[in-house]
Amino acid sequence: MPDHLSAQKKHNDTFYEDVIAGLTAFPKKLQSKYFYDAAGDKLFQDIMNCPEYYLTNCELEIFSEQTAELAKIITDRFPAFDLIELGAGDATKPTYLLQYLLETQVDFTYLPIDISANIINLLEQNLPAKLPDLHMHGLNGDYFDMLKEARQFSSRPKVVLFMGSNIGNMPVKEALGFCSALRHELSPDDLAIIGFDLKKNPKTILAAYNDTASITQNFNLNLLSRINRELQADFHINQFDHYPTYNPETGTCKSYLISLAKQQVKLGGHLIQFEENELIDMEVSQKYSLEETDQLANETGFQPVKHFFDDKKWFVDVIWKCV
Ligand code: AVI
C-alpha cells in the first residue's frame, strides 16, 4: 500500500477506535479534536466571525496593536531564533508579528507545525506571496514529534506560539501535562507565548458558545455527520440538541449533545443505545484567572515574563520563559 494510503488508513482506524471507546463509555464522550474536517474548519471560521465569539478579535487586537512590544521581548533576548507555531491554522494573528520582525530585519525562521497536511500546504503556498522575505519551514505532524525534529535541524533559541486559547480545549490536568511536555522539548531561556481566555461575566462566556445563528450547534453536530460519512454510521442528526454550559466557579465551559429520544445508532459492528436526554460530552473550553496562568507556568518549569491583554482584559497572551 502506498505510504499516504496507509497513513490515511491508520488515521481512520484510530478515529474509529476513539469513537467506539468514547460512545461505549459512561458518560458518552467524543473528542473535540475530531471537529476539524473540511466542513468543521469552515464552521470554525464562521464561529470566529460570530458577534458573540469574542476570543479571536481579542487576540487579534493584542497581536495587531502591541506588535512592537511583543517583538521587543523576543529580540531583546535573542539576535536570531526559530519562531515555532503549534496548530498554525491560517496564521492570521502571527502575521502581524511576522511582518514586524521582517520590517525590522530580525533574523528568524518561522516553523508552523500542524497535524493537518492541508494546512501546512496552504501556508507554504500562501505565506510567501504575503511575506516574500520570510524564511519558513512547515512541519506536518504531532506537535512534540515536530518540536523534536525542529531541534535536530536547528540549535537556535526557540520561541513557541500556542494561540487562540487552544490550551482551553484540554482539561486543566491535561494542560499541566502539556505544558510540562512542552518545557521538556525546550531549553533554558527559550520562550513560550500562550493565549488564554480569561474568566469574565459568565453570560458573555456562555453566549460565545451559544450563538444565536446556531453555528456552534452545527459545529458540534457536524462531528456526528462526519462519523456517519467516514465510519458508515447512521446518526439522525436532528435527534440531537446542542447544550452548552459554563461553571463560573471552576471556569469550565463544556458543550454536550443531548439525545432527544430513546434511539440506537449503528456504527461498524456496534449498536450504540441512547436513552432520551442522554448526553455526549463534546468539548471543554477552560477559562483561567491570571493567577491560574501564572501558577500553571510555575508548576511546569516556566516563569511568567509578561502579560499582554486586549482593552477589555478578556483575553491574555502570556510570555513565559523556560527556567
Ligand atoms: C479552538 N478552540 C479554542 C475553540 C474554543 O473556543 O474552545 C473551539 C470552539 N468550540 C466552540 N466554539 C469554538
Nearest Cα residue to 309 out of 152, 200, 177: 200
Confidence tier at 90 by pLDDT (50, 70, 90): confident
- Residue 221, C-beta contacts closer than 8 angstroms, at least 6 positions apart: 237, 240, 242, 257
CA 1 – ligand 1 centroid, Å:
36
Helix orientation angle between 92-103 and 67-75, rounded to the nearest 10 degrees: 60
Q: Mean pLDDT, to the nearest integer, of 50-66?
A: 97
pLDDT number for residue 261: 98
37 vs 216: which has the higher pLDDT:
216
In the reported structure, the alpha carbon of residue 21 is separated from the centroid of ligand 1 by a whole-number distance in angstroms of 23
Model confidence at 2: pLDDT above 80: no
Strand partners, 242: 257
Q: What is the sign, positive or negative, of the torsion defined by CA atoms of 284, 145, 91, 95?
A: positive
State which of 30, 33, 47 you would mutate to test the pocket of ligand 1, scoring each by most atoms of that ligand within 8 A of its C-beta.
Answer: 47
CA of 237 relative to ligand 1 center, distance in Å: 21
Model pLDDT for residues 119-146, shown as the tens digit of each residue: 898 899 999 999 999 999 999 999 999 9
Q: What is the distance between the alpha carbons of residues 157 and 160, in angstroms, rounded to a whole number?
A: 10
Q: How many CB atoms lie within 10 A of CB 252?
A: 16
- Say how many C-beta atoms besides its own lie within 10 A of residue 271's C-beta: 9
Strand partners, 97: none
**Which helix (DSSP H) or strand (DSSP E) does residue 285 occupy?**
strand 279-286
pLDDT tens digit string along 140-149? 999 999 999 9
Q: CA–CA separation, 267 vs 218, rounded Å?
A: 21
Query: How many residues does the structure list for the chain?
Result: 323
Model confidence at 199, pLDDT cuts 50, 70, 90, reads: very high
- pLDDT above 90 covers what percent of the chain? 89
Cross-strand pairs, 38: none
DSSP structure string for 225-283: HHHHHHH-----GGGEEEEEEEETTTTEEEEEEEESSSEEEEETTEEEEE-TT-EEEEE
| Ligand 1 binding pocket mutation candidate from 283, 287, 314 (most atoms within 8 A of CB) | 283
SS3 assignment, position 103: helix
CA-219 nearest atom, ligand 1: 11
- Ligand 1 nearest-atom number relative to CA 44: 13
Q: Which sign, positive or negative, has the C-alpha torsion 224, 175, 77, 80? A: negative
- Tell me: pLDDT of 187 over 90: yes
pLDDT at 10: 66
> How high is the pLDDT of residue 93?
81
pLDDT at 4 over 70: no
The answer to whether 33 and 18 are in contact (CB under 8 A) is no
Q: How far apart are the first and last CA of the chain?
A: 46
Q: Pick from 273, 277, 274: which is nearest to 243 by CA?
A: 277
The C-alpha cell that represents 248 in the structure block: 463560573
